[in-house]
Chains A and B, each alone.
Chain A
Amino acid sequence: MKRLLGTDVATYGPPAFLFVFTVAYLIVAYGYSPASRAFPVIVAWSMIVLVTIDLISRTQTRAGRALTRWLIPTAATTAGHDNPLSRVEIIAVSWVAALVAAMALIGILYAIPLFVFASVRWRGQRSYAASLAIASITTLLVWLLFTRVLRIELYSGLLGSG
């Protein structure tokens, strides 16, 4: 792993991302009228200062170590927080994204049984029968509560509504 000022480059990831995000935010904000951008700009410039301090605090320089002790004394006890995302984490996030995509495309009432069945069967390593039962019960409960009791029309999906 490449190092910069005595620290793994990946450690700078979160504040570096926030820095870039804030700069982009500021660029967009300056496109609005002076009155409209006044407060967002104050906040964004404050963010630039704070994120810069966060970046410096992650270096293994004298200033960095002093800032860590002063402003983030628990950083030493949270070792491992700065590692890049692992494969398991990316898969977990992808499942959430898949659920949202399924709800948007095929509708809520079809997405739920599919998602629960797939999760329990392939991620949970349960039998087909158990997965089917859990998926059916979940869908039935959601349908009963939201559609029958609350009379909320559940989204039928981009494909379903077309």
Chain B
Amino acid sequence: MLDVWLGGIQSLLQVRELMFLALGMAIGLMFGAIPGLGGATALALLMPLTYGLEPFTALALSGGVMGAVPMGGSITAILLNTPGTAPNAATCLDGYPLAQQGKAGLAIGAAASANAIGGIIGTLSVLAVLPIAKDLVLLFGPPEFFLLATFGLVTTATASRGKVLRGLISGGLGLMISFIGYNEVMGGERFTFGVDYLWDGVHLVPALIGLFAVAEMINLSVRGGAVSSNAGAVKITSMAGGLLETFKHWPTVLRGSLVGTVVGAIPGVGGVVAAFLSYSMTVQASRNPESFGKGNIQGVIAPEAAINAKDGSALIPTLAFGIPGGAEMAVFLGILVLHGMQPGPMMLSQHQTEIYGLVWALTLSCILASFIGLLFVRPLAMITLVDSKILVPIVLCVAMVGSYAIDTNIENVVLTAAFGILGYLMIRFDYPRLTVVIALVLGATAERSFHQSLMIGDGHYSVFFTRTICQILIACIVAWLTWPLLGGFFRTRKSVVLGREGRR
């Protein structure tokens, strides 16, 4: 096995391959930072250009793009509450409050190092798992997928501590929206009201740009001033501070990386779930959960570690089964096919050097992109000092054009604005946006798996309770759901008792 690993490194450490890796990295950082574009768009645009390249060079270029996109996305997520890519939306939750406090540099530093460490841990996990990948992925059937989706929703709702009820309502709203469009299980369209654009369902990236970028720009516009009210703190921000924070919170990095690795390996679940699940688990594990959403550095580290760890493991279903984990992997799959590599079980044995070379390219790109991100912390943090009266129209325009550019559809812009207004109303009336996002991502998977499970179980719900992984997931769901509610109940009891004692 070691000789294959080394063979992969050796193939990558050629001048030509390294140059294309660097080029891919630069493109990845740029596409990651522009809302609405992301890795899938970058790879799609590059795909025809790779035709004239050697297969391994094309893989190095693709690895460079995929490894750098999350870092680019995290920069705009932190500075402008505008996730460059969908998974970076989780980084907004605490990254942006940190930027508002004048700690943008600290947050970007932490994101960069978490990215790099997450990438390395993800790679190590993939190297360990690739030989047994086939057996692992096959453990998950429709009932497990349904319960995993439910688990993702429950953990996210309960992560909004102090607002479990509103978290669940937001999740319900997100699910209801996710059912819009063509019903791929039963056929026919639902809730489209004759609008052709909605047949494909609510497009995720325009919706995310609206929920985060546009909503926050409306909020900033109402509030006035700049993103950060603390100019002094922005200037003194050190890169080392962010780096140290990541090492100080090593259990968070480790947890995030493991979540990213596991979730990334499950087809169709993807980076958004990995990032939000990692964030939710970190909130659950924290002794100070109330501080999340207000600028807790762990809220940046957890999703960033998961996003990059996910990238490596997402290769497992793509390469082993030809089942892409998400849009980015779907385009990457096209590049593989274009270069004569047919993903599937045979690929794991026939193209080992290419596979391991790609894994190393991805890792190297994660690390180098993080360093480049760190180099630009100071100048980038200055964006947060720009007056909202200038920043808001510029960001709104770029966000709207980015949304349009996804598939050159003007309806995307309308959808982005609609979700922007929804997002602002949610901020205003104190409903968490987190669960809407996770529900939008998981809604279709949950419904499809629900129907498939019932078909497997001849219409009986017992199919969800008889399988071992299902039982573990159900136990986790019950524990996650009841713990905060019990906590609230005991708080009520305690306050009643204290009230009685006070009256005495």
Contacts A73-B488, A88-B222 given: A96-B172 contact, CB under 8 Å? Answer: no
- Closest B residue to A44 by CB, please name it: B176
Interface flags, A93-116, vs B, CB<8A=1, else 0: 101110110011000100010011
If A74-B162, A97-B417 touch, whether A33 touches B188 (CB-CB below 8 Å) is: yes
A45 CB, min distance to chain B CBs, angstroms: 10
A146 at the interface (CB under 8 A from B): yes
Given contacts A14-B429, A53-B165, contact A119 B424 (CB under 8 A): no
Tell me if B203 counts as interface (CB < 8 A to partner A).
Answer: no
The docked-state distance in angstroms from the alpha carbon of A36 to that of B182 is 10
A interface bracket (residues with beta carbon within 8 Å of B): 35 or more
Seen from chain A, the residues whose Cβ lies within 8 Å of a Cβ on chain B are 13-15, 18, 22, 25, 28-29, 32-33, 35-40, 43-44, 46-47, 50-51, 53-54, 57, 66-67, 69-75, 78, 81-82, 85-86, 88-89, 92-93, 95-97, 99-100, 103-104, 108, 112, 115-116, 119-120, 123-126, 134, 138, 142, 145-146, 150, 152-155
Q: Is the CB of A43 within 8 A of B175?
A: yes
Q: B205: shortest Cβ distance to chain A, in Å?
A: 15
Chain A residue at minimal CB-CB distance from B414: A100
Q: Is B421 on the interface with A (CB-CB < 8 A)?
A: yes
Closest to A95 in B: B221
Cα separation A65 to B487 with both chains bound (whole Å): 16
CB interface residues, B 215-242, toward A, < 8 Å = 217-218, 221-222
User: How many chain B residues have a CB neighbour from A under 8 Å?
Assistant: 64
Please state if B488 and A100 are interface contacts (CB–CB under 8 Å): no
List the B side residues contacting A112 at CB < 8 Å: 397, 401
Quote the shortest CB–CB distance from B304 to chain A (angstroms): 25
Chain B neighbourhood of A95, CB < 8 A: 221
Asked if B404 contacts A92 (CB within 8 A), the reply is no
Whole-angstrom CA separation of A93 from B417 in the bound complex: 9
Residue numbers in A under 8 Å from B430 (CB-CB): 75, 78, 81
Kindly identify which residue among A36, A69, A92 contacts B488, using a CB–CB cutoff of 8 Å: A69
Q: Flag the segment in B96-104, B330-338, B353-361, B385-393 that touches A.
A: B385-393
User: Is residue B413 within 8 Å, beta carbon to beta carbon, of the partner chain?
Assistant: yes
Residues in A whose Cβ lies below 8 Å from that of B492: 66, 69-70
B35 beta carbon closer than 8 Å to chain A:
no
Residue of B nearest to A78 (CB): B430
Q: How far is the CB of A19 from chain B (nearest CB, A)?
A: 10
State which of B169, B188, B398 has its C-beta within 8 Å of the C-beta of A50: B169
